[in-house]
Structure 1
Amino acid sequence: MTELRTDIAVVGGGLGGVAAALAAARSGLRVLLTEEYDWVGGQLTVQGTPPDEHPWIEQFGCTASYRRLRDGIRDYYRHWYPLSAAARRRPALNPGAGRVSALCAEPSAAHAVLRAMLAPHRASGLLDLRLGHRPVAATTDGDAVTSVTLRDLDSGEDVTVTAAYFLDATETGELLPLTGTEYVTGFESQADTGEPSAPARRQPLNMQAASWCFAVEHRAGEDHTIDKPDDYGFWRDYRPPYWPDRMFSMVAPKPQTLRPATRVLIPDPAPGEPALQGLAGDLDLWAFRRVLARSSFEDGALAGDVVIVNWPMIDYVEGPLYEVEPAAAARHLAGARQMSLSFLYWMQTEMPRPDGSTGLPGLRLRGDVVGTADGLCMGPYIRESRRIRAVYTVTEQDVSLAIRGDRGAVAYEDSVGIGSYRIDLHPSTGGDNYIDVASSPFRIPLGALLPERMCNLLPAAKNIGTTHLTNGCYRLHPVEWNAGEAAGLLAAYCLRHRTTPHQVRAQPARLADYQSALTGHGVEIAWPDIRGY
């Protein structure tokens, strides 16, 4: 067994993990960054999901390093791609012209930029990046983590890492059970949190749907129909009791009202397509998460658009992908893949089209866009993680617009960042439909990054101290990045000043000094006075 010593070990290379590693390396510390998959970037790359962001993202409301990521993606297209003259002039370039975000781009492009951001620190020797490694064991001494063992998924060999600080940036909070860190999963009860939208009883296995996304283009006149999936009959007829129709249909609930709404899918539509007139939000499926749009490039540069399929039809709610027996977890993981492949086959063969015909056999998987041979993303889109039992847990009452009103979200004095998004929960493994609660722009409290007991393990992703409900607004791309960056800078601050994370929060002078370090790195810790959200 190989042994490795570093200052800070960041386990998990999603957005929070990359942000944490960059922050610690910028601070001059030796950092190990590990990731299970072949790409860094988590929900943006491995899981194929364009960024969910707030309406002010082009002006403010994210960290400076997250803005460098966004600018870097745009520069990547300006430098390497044959953009149209109009797109090249556009400061807020959106290569995919997707509706979900002001920056919809290929997961492969985002991965390339993230690797470029890490490259100088790897060259300096401060950052050791190890892909294809997953945590399998850990040791502790009282309230401290002493080591984490990682398995090389290619060779099967193990490496044991010792570090002063361990940051859990995995997609499902894998270090928490391995280290005995107290955590929660699923839905807390009203008695636990006092949240108006919580159920009467705790539901630890009631988690948001996972979705195995994929990228497609459409080749008119060609047949790219995949082999019929083994479970196709089951998924074609699948209908949860709260769903208005079979999930494989063009009718799905509108999240804000739960009323049935009809979606439309027209590949590469001509300008002014009548069937798409007046369709807002995700009702025009093709445009919603489009990551390459022909209109952004020179004539003839692209045969057609490329879109990410992350739509209501592939929300897997049959069971959670973790916190269950390994055989059940493997079954659900395979089920999520089968559901997505079945939906693709349904689109290719049976999907009703506005012109009265059925099926789009020209839909072609674009595995190159997501880095795989089979065309599906490397991993499933995980919306909900294990979450630490924190010194402070953010609740619905802290951010709900209906509760807070003109006061805005709670203005935590120990803020380490900001974010904004609705409480947006997808259908769940416990039988819930969408839960959608308007929220105010919010802060990230330092207390949510501190486990109740463990002193040198910090959450750096979607595993911070939120509830099932508030995870719905703290789980998005810029907030995860911010949480990871704050955790990386906190570990660096504690090492430099020979203090602990809990002491930083408890001592006003320390807290002010740490917050000054955050702002010095370009982390916004308070919102300007904004209206109209």
Structure 2
Amino acid sequence: MKYDIAIIGGSLGGVQAAISAAKQNKKVYLCEETDWIGGQLTSQAVPPDEHPWIEEFGATKRYLDFRKSVRDYYRSIPEFKDEVRQKECFCPGNSWVSRVAHEPKVAFQLFEDEIAEYLQDGRLTLEYFTVAVDSVVENDTIKSVTVKNLQTKEEKSIEAEYFLDATDCGDLLPIVGAEYRTGAESKELTGELHAPEVGDPYDMQPITWVAALELNPDGDYKLEKPEKYDYFASLGVPYDNNLLFSWWMADAHTQKKTFLPMFDGEYEGKPLGLWSYRRVIDTANYTDGRKEVTLLNWPQNDFALGNVFEDKDAKENLELSRQQTLCSIYWLQNEAPRVDGGKGYAVKLRPDIMGTEDGLAKAAYIRESRRIVAKKTICEQDVSKRNNDLPPKLVDSVGVGHYAIDIHMTTKSHSFLYDATYPFEIPLSSMIPVRMKNLLPACKNIGSTHLTSGCYRLHPVEWNVGEVAGYAAAYCIDHKVTFEELLTSELKTFQDELEREGVQLHWDFSKMSV
């Protein structure tokens, strides 16, 4: 099959790339490994991590409109309280990680609604349960990619003028022979303050297999003891003498431990608890007394024992991460200490929230991807508050973002970091491979480092990258230009087009306190 643009991976960035390309009247192919598009927001079940200015600016218009659509969905629920419905800004789950924490199935439905017209008129072809397995590349140009349906095992060749890797692990990069990096780069390579002296391509951020949990004291919903429970329950953590399954966790500010209990305000001096951290249904927002639901993405189920790509045990590690999550739920139900001196909490899995049979997400949350070797590599010193009075205004900016450099405990060195950054920009040069002529990243696989991927991996930034990648491929087709020309002679014209489409290119620091 022949297309203008083929997008491998229906991640959050992949969906946006497909919409951008279809809006430009391109014939687009999109494939996704699961049966839900939307990646970290849907199939991986991670509520959006955002910056303080997100209600007004600091993301693409399409992202800001999506947030409004989420709230409109909840306003349409008859049992949603009027006093909440009438607010311009509210958080459906009243979480403290996100201003718009919501159920994964809601985001999936909104994405399906948005692409419906493109599927109907033929501009977009979408295939679920499909992955890339092979390619034909000539003279640094991808001619075709072979995709395989995981259910039928059928394979077919997809031809396109441009190919976008929108997988969460950067799976297309090795298949097409593109240059890429993984894990932690050395200080010599990047000059980064927090880079190790000796790099390790296998020292990556942990994955997390998220689960949906309901607080429900009205029945006994305890899991059978998972096979690996004794193993995970015996694991210690490297920063103190506590066990993995406890209310003590790493404090990246002090490099020591901190106490974070189950519920808000249970302990003096601890106003926040883990339950409300990623809560997506709050009883207080409804008139029918529906039970609260949170998404379990906590330190207790971060899987730091191995990697799920570039690792001979990748499949086993993926299954182990599922086991760790089930074990953490068993601990929560049976062994977790309560403030009253008892043990265990009345929680149950909610499969309907996830669109799965067991209540776990359809896919693991991937924090760190393979990353292209790009014309420009974004390094720690480009964004860190330690290095700048304000971050530089980039000539080739194609978007903005903001989040701390957030490195969860890694799989080899077990290091972790949370370090302040300034609001940053996304350089187009970080999206252009050093050699390949028709390949673009559209997810977490831009030219960042192990460290900066920790702040460029968040929802609004991945969305921005994907949205721009779709526009960039369409622009190159329409104007018959190369990536090099897009970066130079065509840059201003392309940026003007992005701004017309609602992509914010620069921060206005006069509106902000940084």
Fold in common (TM above 0.5): yes
Shift in Å at residue 139 of structure 1? 1.1
CA offsets 1:214-250 (integer angstroms, 9 cap, x no match): 0101211421111111111010011132244111001
> What's the counterpart of residue 123 of structure 2?
126
CA RMSD of aligned residues (A): 1.2
Is the Cα contact below 8 Å between 2:59 and 2:401 reproduced in 1? yes
Is the Cα contact below 8 Å between 2:101 and 2:279 reproduced in 1? yes
1:218 equivalent to 2:215? Answer yes
Distance change in 2, residues 1:277/1:78 (3 Å): farther
1:348 pairs, out of 333, 345, 358, with 333
> What's the counterpart of residue 261 of structure 2?
264
Distance change in 2, residues 1:81/1:145 (3 Å): farther
Shift in Å at residue 81 of structure 1? 4.7
Is the Cα contact below 8 Å between 2:81 and 2:285 reproduced in 1? yes
> What's the counterpart of residue 294 of structure 1?
283
| Letter in structure 1 aligned against 2:498 | L
- Find the aligned partners of 1:305 and 1:82 in 2 and give their Cα distance: 14
1:532 equivalent to 2:513? Answer yes
| Letter in structure 2 aligned against 1:287 | S
Alignment of 1:363-512 (within 5 A): 363-404=347-388, 406=389, 408-507=390-489, 510-512=490-492
| Letter in structure 2 aligned against 1:18 | V
CA offsets 1:353-374 (integer angstroms, 9 cap, x no match): 01100012x2100011011101
1:517 equivalent to 2:497? Answer yes
CA offsets 1:324-378 (integer angstroms, 9 cap, x no match): 12xx011111110111100101111111001100012x21000110111011111
> What's the counterpart of residue 46 of structure 1?
43
- Find the aligned partners of 2:464 and 2:433 in 1 and give their Cα distance: 18
CA offsets 1:274-331 (integer angstroms, 9 cap, x no match): 5156435xx411111000101111243x1x2100010011111111110012xx0111
Shift in Å at residue 521 of structure 1? 0.5
> What's the counterpart of residue 322 of structure 1?
309
| Letter in structure 2 aligned against 1:201 | V
Q: Decide which moves more: 426-435 or 40-49.
A: 426-435
- Find the aligned partners of 1:13 and 1:144 in 2 and give their Cα distance: 22
2:198 pairs, out of 175, 194, 201, with 201
Alignment partner of 1:19: what SS? helix
1:285 pairs, out of 259, 274, 282, with 274
Is the Cα contact below 8 Å between 1:138 and 1:147 reproduced in 2? yes
1:99 equivalent to 2:96? Answer yes
Is the Cα contact below 8 Å between 2:239 and 2:250 reproduced in 1? no
| Letter in structure 2 aligned against 1:33 | L
Distance change in 2, residues 1:293/1:193 (3 Å): same
- Find the aligned partners of 2:73 and 2:512 in 1 and give their Cα distance: 34
- Find the aligned partners of 1:136 and 1:322 in 2 and give their Cα distance: 14
Q: Decide which moves more: 67-76 or 414-423.
A: 67-76
1:189 pairs, out of 165, 186, 190, with 186
- Structure 1: runs of 5 or more not aligned: 267-272
- Find the aligned partners of 1:274 and 1:391 in 2 and give their Cα distance: 49
- Find the aligned partners of 1:92 and 1:436 in 2 and give their Cα distance: 28
- Find the aligned partners of 1:511 and 1:490 in 2 and give their Cα distance: 10
- Find the aligned partners of 1:123 and 1:371 in 2 and give their Cα distance: 24
- Structure 2: runs of 5 or more not aligned: none
Is the Cα contact below 8 Å between 1:171 and 1:382 reproduced in 2? yes
Is the Cα contact below 8 Å between 2:183 and 2:200 reproduced in 1? yes
1:35 pairs, out of 32, 35, 42, with 32
| Letter in structure 2 aligned against 1:291 | V
- Find the aligned partners of 1:173 and 1:242 in 2 and give their Cα distance: 31
Is the Cα contact below 8 Å between 1:370 and 1:377 reproduced in 2? yes
Shift in Å at residue 5 of structure 1? 1.0
Is the Cα contact below 8 Å between 2:379 and 2:452 reproduced in 1? yes
Is the Cα contact below 8 Å between 1:239 and 1:247 reproduced in 2? yes
| Letter in structure 1 aligned against 2:363 | G
Shift in Å at residue 256 of structure 1? 2.2
Q: Percent identity?
A: 42
| Letter in structure 2 aligned against 1:417 | G
- Find the aligned partners of 2:267 and 2:437 in 1 and give their Cα distance: 54
- Find the aligned partners of 1:442 and 1:503 in 2 and give their Cα distance: 24
1:306 equivalent to 2:297? Answer no
Alignment of 1:139-218 (within 5 A): 139-218=136-215
